[in-house]
Structure 1
């Protein structure tokens, strides 16, 4: 089934460019978003039904990479922050590298043993599904959705 995703690489690049503002407004940096996207696969749900078919994000691998997001933040903090990045500095009121390391070790602040990882995971899943919706809308707008839907079934 990966042939269908190979066939839309150009469309994905277009949507990636259009989606950068949404990522910038999110809690994730572009590096974190890249990591999230590598752990995400896309499927077409109800592909046989032209009226109900839709692209959905398979985020089952996201929990495994969530701790790595903290490593990315730690590296950025160690380098003095992202130049020009408004990133949300983790949203913990700032504490920098020490708090980042504590969070990565599960010793930090927002309770729940993972430093707010459930909230992070939910935010990542929502953003990835928004991307999937945007991708489908783009394919529909360019007249390629039917071709992609059929290719998915093959």
Structure 2
């Protein structure tokens, strides 16, 4: 067995999946920058790693809820490519830090709760799709059992 954690063992597979998944992100509601923030808030886990039949990679998205308001502050579309001064998006200043703080306390009557809930569901769905593709990549390279066993030994 290796001394490195299972997450260290999948770095190469994640890079491959990141490249393959980029077209999926382009077709989603999220920009690349938003997706990067979502992935930063997502942790991958292996459920039931000791059971070869039931083990699977899952996306733990419990922290994604905290970054959803920040997604609105990230430019999308052409503005995400650094279109404005300092790479800032033009237009109104709504959705700023004050709005995020007020929203965290349930204040501010702009009705963004539904939008945030939709974004959170979309992020959760997309990260789980990524996890499934990651597991498929490991399986196709014959590395899944080694990674699964490493995760089982860490529990």
TM over 0.5: yes
1:46 shift after superposition? 1.4
Is 1:45 the counterpart of 2:47? The answer is yes
Q: Counterparts of 2:91 and 2:121 in 1: how far apart (Å)?
A: 23
Q: Counterparts of 2:73 and 2:151 in 1: how far apart (Å)?
A: 35
Computed over aligned residues only, the root mean square deviation of the Cα atoms, in angstroms, reads 2.8
Q: Counterparts of 2:25 and 2:10 in 1: how far apart (Å)?
A: 21
Instruction: Indicate the residue corresponding to 1:91 in structure 2.
Output: none
Is 1:55 the counterpart of 2:57? The answer is yes
1:83 shift after superposition? 4.1
SS of aligned partner of 1:13: helix
1:108–1:115 contact (8 Å) kept in structure 2: no
Instruction: Indicate the residue corresponding to 1:65 in structure 2.
Output: 67
Q: Which runs of 5+ in 2 are unaligned?
A: 83-89
1:99 shift after superposition? 4.8
Instruction: Indicate the residue corresponding to 2:23 in structure 1.
Output: 21
Instruction: Indicate the residue corresponding to 1:34 in structure 2.
Output: 36
| 1:32-88 CA distance string (max 9 Å, x none) | 000000000001111111111100000000011111111113xx58xx72349xxxx
Q: Which runs of 5+ in 1 are unaligned?
A: 85-94
Cα pair distance change 1:71/1:115, threshold 3 Å? farther
TM-score w.r.t. length of structure 1: 0.78
Q: Counterparts of 1:71 and 1:121 in 2: how far apart (Å)?
A: 15
